[in-house]
Amino acid sequence: MKIVGVLFVMLTGALVCVSDGATTTASYLSVADRMRLKQVLSVAWNLQDIPSVHYAVLGYKLLGEAVPKQQEVCKFLLESIGSGTGTPELLYYVTSAWKSVAVCGSLPVSNIVKSLGDVLERETSTVPDLFYAVQALTNVGQKKGEAAKLIKTLQAALKKDDSLLNLGYSFHIAAQLGTDGTFAFDRIEDAIVQADEVDSRFLQFEGGLSITALLVSGAYKLADTVKKPPPITGDQAVKFANYFLSRRSVQTAKGAYSLLEVVHTLTNNKFHLPVAITLASPAAVSLEQPRVSVRVSDLLGQPLSADPLTVTAESATRVGDEVVVLSKKKFESTSGDRTVYSVNLMETKPERGLYKLSVSAALAKPDPRLVGNVGASLTVKVMCAVGVENVEVGTVDADQTTQAKLAKVSYPDKLTTPVEADSLQKLIMKFALKDKSTGKVMTVHQAFVKLHNLVTNQEIIFVAEPDSAKIYKFDIDVGSKASEFGYLSGLYSMELIVGDAVLSNSFSWIVADVVLKFSDSVPVPSSSKDQYLYAPKPEIKHLFREPERRPPALVSNLFTGLVLVPFLMLFVLWAKLGVNISNFPLSLSALGFHLGLGGIFLLFGVFWLQLNMFQTIKYLLGIGVVTFLCGNKLLAKIASDRKQN
């Protein structure tokens, strides 16, 4: 079942590769990338960490740079190794750096060999320890022990743990054993099928840059040792290369060395040579700069071979409508740089826009190692120069009852006389834009008209829209737009702004001066801007609502009399019926109730004349409580007296 599963994964990966088609590499390690990686490695020269120094020394060697402070580095390495009885990892780091510097003193080789020999003899040694031991012995020029025993120990360790990391270490160990390393060659295929594909362009292993670089470089080194092509297709090699180049911004010394080491391996192996096809000129061409240049190189930016290349533009297709404007056009080599080739893209007079340029490269004598050299897709922008024609500026009545008064002006001149427009008129401008190379009327992404107040420096921008005939027209109703201008009458400059991503001569042109007159205009002094902005403004006065007219005195007096009629009738009825004052109970509750009731009526009168509602409620609360308590007690006493009688 395990074998069936592996075969299924392999078949699925193969089908994916076929369906995706050719993959290309659109980048390489440029001079700027190498300088940045050098800066990342240079942090190790503070000589505080053995692994960092190891990666920095080996990385500088790959960059072709001299190791700085060599004597200090040698002293640090010798002090770190001591008597030569450290861990296999430490001994590997020190011996690798010592070998690369090549000017350090002697190492305690006998102790190193004895310490590492014990690691190779132990049957319980892990795969990383075996890797460190084998590499360290190679660094000091010593034998790696009996190959058969080492292979047996390594295979036993892989049975316990055949992770991707251990497989990568085993490939490097096997590469040191010559033809005896064939036992690990079959495991390369097992590792490759575990790679993750991203966006149909990248292949990587779980664990990131270091593990992917370890596996890929180990696979190619082992294949070179056993003289067999690795089970890696050209398409997979390109996808691995794309992944490594996408990690050019690595920030650690280990990552920088891993990147440099695997890129050198991909460039210098005998089986695959990924080709990088990139733009070597600005990604825009025009009549002034009609040639587009491409760089064809290996991953290190070097020429592919001493023989000249044949670089062909297979097609140039306009993005959007898929129109092909160029096919099978040969590039020409440039003097002084064997990696740069150019072609005149403007010979076919393509229309402005974005184009996909498909480029292929081949040697006169075919090289089967080349991969990623067919169908590289590059995006090129075809620029055009725009001309403005038939420009007319003027005014027309807002109700359009009369014919427009227009004056013509030519770019880049300015209209000699100012255009005057009041609140009953429209300010209009018409113009046409033409492609200078084809003479065709065109439209652009941005066409604005800016009106700039020459006194206050305030400005307002409007959009000019084309009609069905691609003639641009700008018009504003001065009266309806007065609020947007802040009702500031005065002298304005009218400026035409034209821009587009595919224009080589976007421009800003002051067409004319305009005098705007608004009906509700704010006077703008002819003095400086600051005097206008900071001058005293008119005082703001609030107008309160006028009170309603009072009624005549006769009506007021009559209404007052009608209000007092019930009270007069009360006193009349009391006089007619008689008032039994002798029956008035002389008690505190009776006096409190009647005084409280009278106080409430009095409070209402004072409220009518003087108090407000909140003051009245406050006083009413006190009087009302006393009146309620006294009234309750008075009524209880009256009820009790009636019951006794």
Torsions phi, psi of 185, nearest 5? -65, -40
Q: What is the pLDDT of residue 365?
A: 86
How far is the C-alpha of 298 from the C-alpha of 291, rounded, in Å? Answer: 23
- Res 15 pLDDT > 50: no
Structural domain includes residue 599: yes
Residue 103: the pLDDT is 85
Residue 177 confidence (pLDDT) above 80:
yes
Which of residues 242, 270, 298 is at a domain's end? 270
Q: Which residues are CB-contacts of 280 (< 8 A; sequence separation ≥ 6)?
A: 293, 294, 295, 339, 340
Task: Specify whether 61 is located in the same domain as 149.
Answer: yes
DSSP H helices, 206-296, are 209-226, 234-246, 253-268
CA 277, distance to chain mean position in Å, is 26
- pLDDT band of residue 571 (cuts 50, 70, 90) is confident
Q: Are residues 378 and 417 in the same domain?
A: no
Q: Is 286 strand, coil or helix? A: coil
Q: 340: how many CB neighbours lie within 10 A of its CB?
A: 20
Strand, coil or helix: 29: coil
Tens digits of residue pLDDT in 307-356: 888 999 999 999 988 889 989 999 998 878 889 999 999 888 888 889 99
Q: Which two tokens stand for residue 373?
A: 């050299």
pLDDT exceeds cutoff 50 at 16: no
Residue 168 lies in a domain: no
Q: What is the mean pLDDT of residues 451-474?
A: 91
pLDDT score recorded for residue 3: 36
Asked whether the bond before 412 is cis by omega within 30 degrees of 0, the reply is yes
Confidence (pLDDT) at 525 = 52
**pLDDT higher than threshold 60 for residue 1:** no
Q: Residue 6 has what pLDDT?
A: 34
What confidence tier does 23 reach under pLDDT thresholds 50, 70, 90?
confident
pLDDT band at 388 (very low <50, low <70, confident <90, very high): very high
Is residue 131 situated within a structural domain?
yes
Nearest-10 crossing angle of helices 147-160, 182-192: 30
Residue 477 contacts residue 510 (beta carbons within 8 Å): no
Nearest to 112 by CA among 132, 102, 154: 132
Amino acid, single-letter form, for residue 376: A
| 153/38 same-domain check | yes
pLDDT score of 528 more than 60: no
Average pLDDT (539-545) is 76
Q: DSSP character for 541? A: -
Mean pLDDT over residues 475-481, rounded? 89
What was the pLDDT predicted at 591? 87
**Is the domain of 319 the same as that of 227?**
no
Q: Answer yes or no: is pLDDT of 633 > 60.
A: yes
| Average pLDDT of the chain to the nearest whole number | 87
Confidence of residue 213 (pLDDT cuts 50, 70, 90): very high
Give the mean model confidence (pLDDT) for residues 382-411: 89
Task: Name, in order, each residue with C-beta under 8 angstroms of 582's C-beta and a sequence gap of 6 or more.
Answer: none
The verdict on 522 and 401 lying in the same domain is: yes
42 and 138 housed in the same domain:
yes
| 244-261 pLDDT, tens digit each | 999 999 999 999 999 999
Identity of residue 72: E
pLDDT of 122 over the 60 cut: yes
Per mean pLDDT, which range of 79-83, 99-103, 578-582 is the poorest?
578-582
Does any domain span residue 545? no
Domain-embedded: residue 628? yes
Measured CA angle at 244 (ends 242, 245), to 5 deg: 65
Which pLDDT does position 278 carry in this prediction? 94
> Would you state the pLDDT for residue 197?
92
- The domain that contains 336 carries what CATH number? 2.60.40
User: Exposed (0-12), middle (13-18) or buried (19+): which is 526, by Cβ within 10 Å?
Assistant: exposed
Mean pLDDT to the nearest integer, 159-171: 92
User: Binning pLDDT at 50, 70 and 90, where does residue 471 land?
Assistant: very high
282 and 344 share one domain: yes
Cα separation of 132 and 36, whole Å? 29
Span 146-154, mean pLDDT? Answer: 87
- Please say whether the beta carbons of 37 and 389 come within 8 A: no
Model confidence band, residue 531 (pLDDT cutoffs 50, 70, 90): low
Over 60: is that where the pLDDT of 44 sits? yes
Count structural domains, the chain. Answer: 5
Q: Are residues 199 and 265 in the same domain?
A: yes
Does residue 336 sit in the same domain as residue 245?
no
Its pTM surpasses 0.75: no
pLDDT at 523: 54
Looking at the predicted structure, is the pLDDT value of residue 65 above 70?
yes
Range of the domain at 302: 276-382
Residue 20, pLDDT above cutoff 50: no
- Distance, in Å, from the CA atom of 124 to the CA atom of 129, rounded to the nearest integer, reads 10
User: Average pLDDT for residues 88-95, to the nearest whole number?
Assistant: 92
Q: How many CB atoms sit inside 10 A of residue 358's CB?
A: 20
Residue 572 lies in a domain: yes
Identify residue 488 by its one-letter amino acid code.
L
As a three-state string, the secondary structure of 412-431 is CCCCCCCEEEECCEEEEEEE
CA 256, 257, 260, 265 dihedral sign is: negative
* 529 neighbors 456 (Cβ within 8 angstroms): yes
For residue 466, what pLDDT band results from cuts at 50, 70 and 90? very high
Residue 171 included in any domain = no
**Quick one: 622 and 583 in the same domain?**
yes
Same domain for 124 and 39: yes
Structure confidence at residue 10 as a pLDDT band (50, 70, 90): very low
259-290 residue pLDDT tens? 999 999 999 999 999 999 999 988 899 888 89
pLDDT at 8 over 60: no
**Percentage with pLDDT > 90 across the chain:** 51
Whether 108 shows a pLDDT value over 70: the answer reads: yes
Q: Read off the CATH number of the domain in which 520 is found.
A: 2.60.40.10
- Residues 423-442: what's their mean pLDDT? 90
Q: What is the pairing mode between strands 370-371 and 273-274?
A: parallel
Annotate 317-350 with three-state secondary structure: EECCCCCEEEEEEECEEECCEEEEEEEEHHHHCC
214, 248, 270 - which closes a domain: 270
134-158: average pLDDT: 87
Which residues have CB under 8 Å from 339's CB, separation 6+? Answer: 280, 295, 296, 297, 301, 302, 303
- pLDDT, residue 533, reads 55
Domain boundary among 218, 243, 270: 270
User: Does one domain contain both 465 and 425?
Assistant: yes
Domain-located, residue 592:
yes
Angle at 145 between CA 142 and CA 149, to 5 degrees: 160
